[in-house]
Amino acid sequence: MKTQGTDVHRIAMTYEDYLTYGDSATRTEWVDGEAIVYMPPRDEHQTILEFLYALLRLYTDIKKLGRVRIAPFEVKLWENGPSREPDLVYISTKKLKNLSSKRFSGAPDLAIEVISPGSLYIDRRDKLREYEKAGVGEYWIIDSRPDNERADFYRLDSEERYELFATEADEKIVSTALKGFWLRPTWVWRAPPLSPLTALTEVVGKDALIASLNAEDES
């Protein structure tokens, strides 16, 4: 077993062995003959992840735009390629055919990674390269480490290469992968955490949110 810091362990194994390794609560990825096992995340990581998941889940449900999945859930980026477990992925309706009960095969429309101390280089270097190669439309990297309020927002350009289109310094970032969605980076690190419902109301508007909820009640 090889280790990387105290938050990540690497174990040599085949992809077939990886599929039966661990359990559904363990975040484990497979790349180039190695299983990468992550230690349980810290509270600051989970606080950011829970906020983003709730916000994106509510938005996609209201707009009926597809599905949002939270780790641990396998994303097989390409055949015989790496299996990653992004913290969050958004899968548009047109790509739901690639979603099974076990994994998503191919490139999701949006992948989000929340950096932990042991995942810094994996998220910023390895996954950036892999998600670009796979064709993941947008890749957001959010740093959860205390005193590291940094966010990098990438999207594919006309040559299918990632361009940095926004950072934490921007007042608002507008997604092209998730139609109509935008985010204020300051929401991510707010203490105490902002209610996802409050954020959603600002994104879609109070009247639109009420109308959507009323439609749900009537259906």
| Count of Cβ atoms closer than 10 Å to residue 127 Cβ | 24
Q: Is 164 within the bounds of a domain?
A: yes
How far is 34 from 191, CA to CA, in rounded Å?
38
Task: Please report, in tens digits, the pLDDT of each residue of the chain (219 residues total).
Answer: 444 445 789 999 999 999 998 776 778 999 999 999 999 999 999 999 999 999 999 999 999 999 999 999 999 999 999 999 999 999 999 999 999 999 999 999 999 999 998 899 999 999 999 999 999 999 999 999 999 999 999 999 999 999 999 999 999 999 999 999 999 999 999 999 999 999 999 999 988 788 877 776 666
Q: Is 29 within the bounds of a domain?
A: no
CATH of the domain at 104: 3.90.1570.10
Q: Is 148 within the bounds of a domain?
A: yes
Q: Is 36 within the bounds of a domain?
A: no
Q: Is 209 within the bounds of a domain?
A: yes
Q: Is this structure's pTM higher than 0.85?
A: yes
Range of the domain at 110: 41-218
- Comparing CA positions, the residue from 104, 102, 127 lying closest to residue 116 is 127
Spatial neighbors of 187 by CB under 8 A, at least 6 apart, are: 51, 194, 199
Residues in a beta bridge with 35: 11, 30
Q: Is 49 within the bounds of a domain?
A: yes
